[in-house]
Amino acid sequence: MNKKAIIAAGVFLVLVIVALVALYFHKQHQMQEMVEILEFEKEQLADEYEDLSIQFDGYQQLDIRNDSLQEQLAIEQQRVHDLLEELRITKVTNARRIAELKKELATVRAVMVGYVHQIDSLNRTNARLEKENQTYRRQNQQIQQQNDELQTQNTHLSETVTRAARLEVTEFEVIPLNKRDKKTKQFSQIQKLEFHYTVGKNITCEPGLKTVCLRLTRPDGELMLKPGARTFNFESGTLEASVMQEIEYAGEEISGTMYWAVEEILQTGTYTADFFIDSQHVGNFTFTLKK
């Protein structure tokens, strides 16, 4: 082989080597660009997984009031967490697995859309039910208020009827008597007190036998009673009567007379006479005894 052929072969070999080196560096540059693109896609995919996980956290905080849906959300949230962890440890050069994880993300997103629709439907239903409950509560409050008003009216009506049916002692007179049952003005001669009273007309009161109870109170505030004094009902208890008398009441005005035999030392001053009929206080009067 002549010298020119050797030089030509050498030049050709150098050119081939230069071409191969250039091709190598070009491929390396392409690989580096591909790696950078895959890293960028991996980071974007990881961000999307994290955003999805945050969305699941938000829905878990909602008052969904559906145990089955909450359980499904928890399962999908754990699935997103597991896929994100797998993505973080997957090599950037494993383009196939990254592509699969990207498809998994799309699947989870589609599932979430279905859950979002269910949650929105539940929220709308809950809002409607809450509105209906508020309406029912207002109606119940109005009904209760009306019932309370009716109860108050009935109570007032009952009280009115009770007052209307209550008897009343309209007139009262005291006559001191001596031992011959004659009227006397001498304090020292008083042996008996005669009480005249009148029960007024009342056609709303139920007719029948009525017991008139008289309570006499001395000037010193002590009740005047005889041994074995009878009692009568009043309000929530019983009271003792100084004198009792039964009358036949027919709705018309009727008068009666009671007596108190003086067996004690009389006091001078103002006495009080309280009348009771049918367990109701029907009259209050005062009278004075002087020397």
Cα separation, 95 vs 141, in Å, equals: 67
Q: Report yes or no on 200 lying in a domain.
A: yes
> pLDDT tens across 186-230, in order?
999 999 999 999 999 998 888 999 999 999 999 999 999 999 999
Q: How many domains does the chain have?
A: 2
Angle ∠(187,239,215) on CA atoms, nearest 5: 20
pLDDT at site 232: 96
Average pLDDT, the chain: 80
Structure letter (DSSP) for residue 242: S
Q: Beta-carbon neighbour count of residue 157 at 10 Å?
A: 11
- Determine if the pTM surpasses 0.85: no
Cα separation, 73 vs 58, in Å, equals: 11
64 confidence band (pLDDT: 50, 70, 90): low
pLDDT at site 261: 96
Q: Report yes or no on 241 lying in a domain.
A: yes
Q: Beta-carbon neighbour count of residue 186 at 10 Å?
A: 9
Cα separation, 259 vs 256, in Å, equals: 10
Q: Report yes or no on 147 lying in a domain.
A: no
Q: Report yes or no on 105 lying in a domain.
A: yes
Cα separation, 72 vs 112, in Å, equals: 10
Q: Where are the alpha helices (DSSP H) in the chain?
A: 3-60, 67-89, 95-165
**CATH number of the domain enclosing 276:** 2.60.40.10
Full residue range of the structural domain in which residue 189 is found: 169-289
> pLDDT tens across 93-120, in order?
676 777 777 777 777 776 666 666 676 6
Q: Report yes or no on 160 lying in a domain.
A: no
32 confidence band (pLDDT: 50, 70, 90): low
Check if the beta carbon of residue 274 is closer than 8 Å to that of residue 215: yes
Q: Report yes or no on 138 lying in a domain.
A: no
pLDDT above 70 (res 6): yes
Cα separation, 90 vs 45, in Å, equals: 12
Q: Report yes or no on 57 lying in a domain.
A: yes
76 confidence band (pLDDT: 50, 70, 90): confident
Tokens of 91: 């090599």
Domain boundary among 127, 147, 178: 127
Domain boundary among 127, 158, 177: 127
In percent, the amount of the chain with pLDDT more than 70 equals 66
In percent, the amount of the chain with pLDDT more than 90 equals 40
Q: Report yes or no on 162 lying in a domain.
A: no
pLDDT at site 114: 66
Of the candidates 246, 148, 256, which has an alpha carbon nearest to the alpha carbon of residue 200? 256
Q: Which residue type, as a one-letter code, is found at position 84?
A: L
